[in-house]
Chain A
Amino acid sequence: MADTDTKDQPAQIPGIITPPALDMSWARVPTERPPKPQIGAEGFTLKLADAGAYAWVPDHWPYQNDTPRGSYPSKEIGLAAPYTIYDKSEVWADNAADLYELAIREQWKPATEIAWNSIEPLPDHIEAAWDQIFSNISEQQYNSNGVLMGWLKEISYGFHEVKLYLATQVFDHARHVEAFRKRALANGGGLGVQTPGFFNRTVYAAFKFTELTVYTNIIRSSFMLALCEHGEKIARSKADRQLFELTANDLRRHMAYGIEHLRHFLLMGSLDNRRYVRTWLERGEIMMSADLKRDKPLREALILALGNTVAEGKTALKELRQAQLRKYTLALEAATYAGHADRITDALREVVENP
C-alpha cells in the first residue's frame, strides 16, 4: 500500500538478473531492543508491546510523515503529510491504548448477537414512538462516525494509540447506526423524522479536535448514555434491552476517552485551553438545546415510550433530561473542569427543566 519513492534504492525486482549484494544496514540502526513480553490473561496488548523507549510519547511529534514511533527515520522523507496535529496535548489520553484493546474485546455483532426474534408486536403508536427514538440515535451516530473518520488524517503518526482507539470508536458508531436502523425496521414500523440537525452541524464545523471531542464524546455521549441506561430499564424485549445495554457499554468507553483527553488538554496544554473549553461547552449546549427544543417528534416519542400515560411520560422525560445533565456535568468534573453544573447555559437549563 505504498506510493513510495524508489530513488537511491538498490535494483528493483522486476527484471533483476543479479540480486543486489547483501547490505542489511537496516539491521544496524540504533533502535531499542525491547524485552520479551510476558503475555498475560488479556493477551499481547499494546501496552505490553510498547515497553521501554517505545512507550515514550513526546509532547511534540517531530516527523511529518508516517514514521512509526520507535523506528529509525529514513533519510528519504518523501512528501510531508497533511497532518495538522503534532502536539500531544491536542489528542492524547493516557487510557487510549487500554480502551483500544477493551473495545476489541467488547465488539458485538448486531446481525447475529441481538435476539431479533424476541421482539413482540407493540401497539402502533408505541412502536412508532420507539422507532422515532431509534431513528434519532442512528442519525446522530452516523454524524459522529463520518466526522470523526475525517479527522484521522489530521493526527500525526506518533500518536498511534489515539488513532487506533479512534478507529474502534468509528467502528462502534457504525454498528450503532446499523443496529438501531435495523430495530426501527424490524417490528412493523419504519424510520421516523430526521433531527433538526443543529448539533450535527456543530460537530461538522468543529475547528479543533478537542472541540470535536467535547461535542461528541462529552456532550452527545453523556446524553446518549443516559438515554440508553434509561432504555435498558424500560425496554420491552430482550432485543431492545441488548441494544441499549451494548450501546451503553460502547458509549462508556467513548466518554472515558473524552474525559481523559479533556483532562490532559486542560492540565498539559496552554493556559488558554480552559477558556476555549468554556466556549465549546456553551456552543455545544446551545446547539443541543436547539435540537431538543425544536424536535417535537422526538419529545413526543419519548413521552409515549417512557410512560404508560402522557403524564407519566412527561415526568419520565424530565427525569431523563435531569439524568442526562447530571451525567454531562459529572463527566466535566472528572475531566477537572469543575463547577460547571452552576454555569450551564440558560438554553440547556430550560430544556432540562421544561422538556
Chain B
Amino acid sequence: MRSEILEQLKKEPGGDDLDLSWLDKPLAERGLRVSPSKRGLTLEEIATSSYGDIPDVTRNQSGRMRGAAPRSDAQSMQTLWPFKSASWSDSAMLLYEEAVQRQWSSATDIPWADLPELPQEMEFAMSQLCTFLTQVEFIAGDVPGQYAPNVSGEFFEVGLFLASQIMDEARHLDVFRKRALANGIGLLKAGPGAIGLLTAQDFTEMASTLHLVGEGFIQSMFRMGEMFAQTEVDKRMFRLAAQDESRHVAFGVMHMKHVIETQPERREEIHTYLDRMEGNLGTGSSQAGLTGGGETGEAMAILLGGGTSEAQLRDGYMKLLAIRKRQVNEYMHRLEVVGLGDRRQLMNPMMQMLLDPPKN
C-alpha cells in the first residue's frame, strides 16, 4: 500500500483517529486476481498461492479462516480439530461445487402431476419403501452435522461440503415423504431405523460407517431404481437421489483414502467399524439386514416382481438378491479404492458369498 495514500487519509478531516496498520502492513497475502474458468469461479480456482496451502496441522483454534490475518487477542475455541487428516477429503472442493450446481427441487423437478395410480398392492409397497427412506435419510444429515463445529476454518471446504450433504439429505427426506403421501396411501410402518449411525465417535468412523457402507448401499439401490420404480416419476426421483448420494459416497471414499495413506496405523481400527456395520460382532445390528428382509425387503420384492402372486414374489426376491449382490460388489470396489482390499477376506460371510471373484 502506498504510504502517501495512508498519510493523506489520516490528514483528511476526521482522519486523525485512523490507525490503518492493517492496510499499511497486511498480514495476509494480497495481490491475487483470480478469474473464473469455464466452470465459473470455483473453490479450486481460489485455493491458490498461500490460500491453497492446506496445513497438515494447525494451532489455529479461533474462527480465523485459512489465509486470513490473525489477531493476537482472538477468542479461542479449543474444540477445533488441529489435524487435516481428521476430516479432509481431496474431493471436498469439487464435490461441493458440483452439489451447488446440481441442486434440484422435490416440489417442481419431479413431475408429480403425471404420477399414475398403481395397482393397490404396488402403491402400498412404494409407500412402505418411502416410509423407510423418510425414516433413515435425514439421519445421514444429523450424523455429519454433529462434527461440523469441530472443522476449523483452515479446512473450511469440508464444512461447506457437509452443509451440501445436509441439504441433499433434507431433500431426500422430503421427496420420499411426498411420494408416500402423493397417491392416497400415506406413510406406513416405521422400522428400527438408523439411529445407530449416530453412535460414531469420530469423523473417520463416521465416514466408514455412513459413507462407505450406509450411503454406499443406498446409492447402489437408488442406481437400480429403474428396476423397482414403476413410473417415470419414481424413476426420476431415484435417479436424482442417486446422483446426490454419489457425491456423499465419493467424499467419504476420498476421506478414507486420505486416512489410510497418511495414518496407515488406523487400518485395523477401521476394520472394526466395518465389522460392526456388516454384523460381524453378533449384535444383530447389521447393514446386511437393510432392505434385505422385514417390511422393507418385502415391499421391495413386491415392487421388483410386479405384484404379490407367488411367481411375482419369487421373481421379486431374485431381483432383490441381484440388488444385494450389486450393493456388496460396489462396496468391495470402494474398499479397494481406499486401500482396504484385504476386507475381501474379513467380510461377513453372508455378504462375502455375494462377491464376484477378484478381477486379477
Residues of A within 8 A of B (CB): 1-7, 9-16, 19-20, 22-27, 29, 31-37, 39, 42-46, 49-51, 54, 65-68, 70-74, 76-82, 100-101, 104-105, 107, 109-112, 114, 116-117, 123-125, 128-129, 132, 135, 138-139, 142-143, 145-147, 149-153, 157, 160, 163-164, 167-168, 170-171, 173-175, 177-178, 181-182, 185-198, 200-201, 204, 294, 296-297, 300-301, 303-304, 309-311, 314
Contacts and interface: CB of A to CB of B under 8 A. Distances in A.
A36 B183 contact: yes
Given A13-B292, A54-B181, A150-B149, A1 B190 contact: no
Nearest to B16: A310
Given A37-B182, A72-B190, A168-B170, 4 more contacts: A3-B286, A4-B193, A35-B184, A182-B34
Contacts of A22: 298, 308, 313
Interface stretch (B155-163, B224-232, B258-266, B334-342): B155-163
Interface-central residue, A7, A44, A77, A100, by most chain B CB under 10 Å: A44
Contacts of B169: 167
- The list of the 3 closest CB pairs from A to B, nearest first, reads A3-B196, A6-B289, A111-B40
Contacts of B100: 109-111, 175
Given A71-B131, A135-B65, A145-B159, A182 B146 contact: no
Contacts of B19: 296, 300
Contacts of A34: 181, 184-186
A66 B177 CA distance: 13
Contacts of A177: 65, 156, 159-160
B23 interface: yes
B186 A54 contact: yes
A311 B159 contact: no
Given A1-B197, A111-B42, A153-B142, A201 B75 contact: yes
B75 A5 contact: no
Contacts of B145: 149-153, 170
B34 A194 contact: no
B80 to A, nearest CB: 9
Contacts, number: 477
Contacts of B192: 2, 4-5, 65, 74, 76-78
Contacts of A301: 22
Contacts of A181: 46, 65
A153 B288 contact: no
A125 to B, nearest CB: 6
B74 A196 contact: yes
A186 B33 contact: yes
A195 B153 CA distance: 13
B16 to A, nearest CB: 9
Contacts of B124: 24, 27
A148 to B, nearest CB: 8
A200 B152 CA distance: 13
Interface residues on B, range: 35 or more
Given A125-B23, A304-B9, A66 B193 contact: yes
B107 A45 contact: yes
Interface string B11-50: 0111100111011001111111111100111110010100
A2 B65 CA distance: 35
A110 B163 contact: no
Nearest to B60: A194
B65 A139 contact: yes
Nearest to A127: B30
28 contacts: A1-B210, A4-B193, A4-B286, A4-B289, A5-B285, A9-B293, A10-B298, A25-B189, A26-B299, A43-B108, A46-B107, A49-B181, A65-B195, A66-B138, A67-B190, A109-B40, A110-B40, A116-B41, A142-B156, A146-B149, A150-B147, A192-B26, A193-B27, A194-B63, A197-B74, A197-B75, A296-B19, A300-B19
Contacts of B178: 44, 46, 49
B164 interface: yes
B294 A167 contact: no
A50 B167 CA distance: 20
Contact of A13 (B148, B153, B188, B320): B320
A4 to B, nearest CB: 5
B239 interface: no
B271 interface: no
Interface string B199-214: 1000000000110001
A350 to B, nearest CB: 16
Nearest to B12: A310
A13 B292 CA distance: 5
Contacts of A50: 177, 181
